Amino acid sequence: MREDDFIVSKTNAKGIITYGNPIFIEFSGYSESELLGTQHNIVRHPDMPRAAFKLAWDTIQAGQEFFAYVKNMAKDGSFYWVFTHITPDFDASRNIVGYTSVRRCPRREAVAKVEPVYRQMLEAEQRAGARDAIGAGTAVLLDLLKQTGMSYEELVFAL
Ligand SMILES: Cc1cc2nc3c(=O)[nH]c(=O)nc-3n(C[C@H](O)[C@H](O)[C@H](O)COP(=O)(O)O)c2cc1C
């Protein structure tokens, strides 16, 4: 990503894309009509551990904001790293009606620190097999948090 760019997208409550700003469209490599109405995992990169998305969904479905470094894949197979902030959108009765994500350019040093953590999580998930993958990936992350004595958010902002 470029220093001053913001990649913005919105989804409905089920993660179907309802809006993408021009920079999201540019980086994804898809057209606006290919993106709208499609699950947001269209930009998922296979290097990302499943446990990272489980944590994301658990957090935002609980009505909280979520921060993470994410490796995304464009239509042509190339990748781009982002630092993302996802927030729930509420109606007047505090029901979650969708989510908004704003991503900015991550610091290279932070990406270099996150990459091996995601790799370890992914390897644990692959060893565990599909059924136990999320538990195995989550265990790697929880272990790291225990070692550092930080919460997930503290760790993300310490990178
Ligand atoms: C607002 C919003 C933005 C999202 N942005 C991304 C994203 O940029 N990249 C990504 O891989 N997943 C993103 N997700 C998560 C996806 O919905 C999905 O959970 C993830 O790609 C994992 O796909 P899977 O559940 O099919 O394994 C986003 C979800 C929401 C609600």
Q: Which helix (H) or strand (E) holds 99?
A: strand 96-104
pLDDT score of 121: 98
Give distance in angstroms: CA of 128 to centre of ligand 1: 22
Question: Helical H runs in the chain?
Answer: 22-28, 32-35, 50-61, 108-128, 133-148, 152-158
pLDDT band at 25 (very low <50, low <70, confident <90, very high): very high
Tokens coding 24: 């999201």
d(CA 83, CA 66): 11
State pLDDT tens for residues 32-62: 999 999 999 999 999 999 999 999 999 999 9
| Contact assessment for residue 154 and residue 144, using Cβ atoms and an 8 Å cutoff | no
Token pair 């993302």: residue: 84
Inter-axis angle of helices 108-128 and 50-61, nearest 10: 100
Give distance in angstroms: CA of 53 to centre of ligand 1: 7
Residue 93 DSSP label: T
pLDDT band at 9 (very low <50, low <70, confident <90, very high): very high
Intra-chain end-to-end CA distance of the chain, in Å = 18
| Contact assessment for residue 7 and residue 38, using Cβ atoms and an 8 Å cutoff | no
Over residues 106-131, the mean pLDDT reads 96
State pLDDT tens for residues 69-113: 999 999 999 999 999 999 999 999 999 999 999 999 999 999 999
| DSSP symbols for 2-41 | -TT-EEEEEEETTSBEEEE-HHHHHHH-S-HHHHTTSBGG
User: Which domains, and CATH codes, for the chain?
Assistant: 6-158 (3.30.450.20)
Chain mean pLDDT for the chain: 96
d(CA 22, CA 19): 10
With a Cβ cut-off of 6 Å, ligand 1 is lined by 9, 11, 15, 40-41, 43-44, 48, 50, 53, 70, 72, 86, 99-101
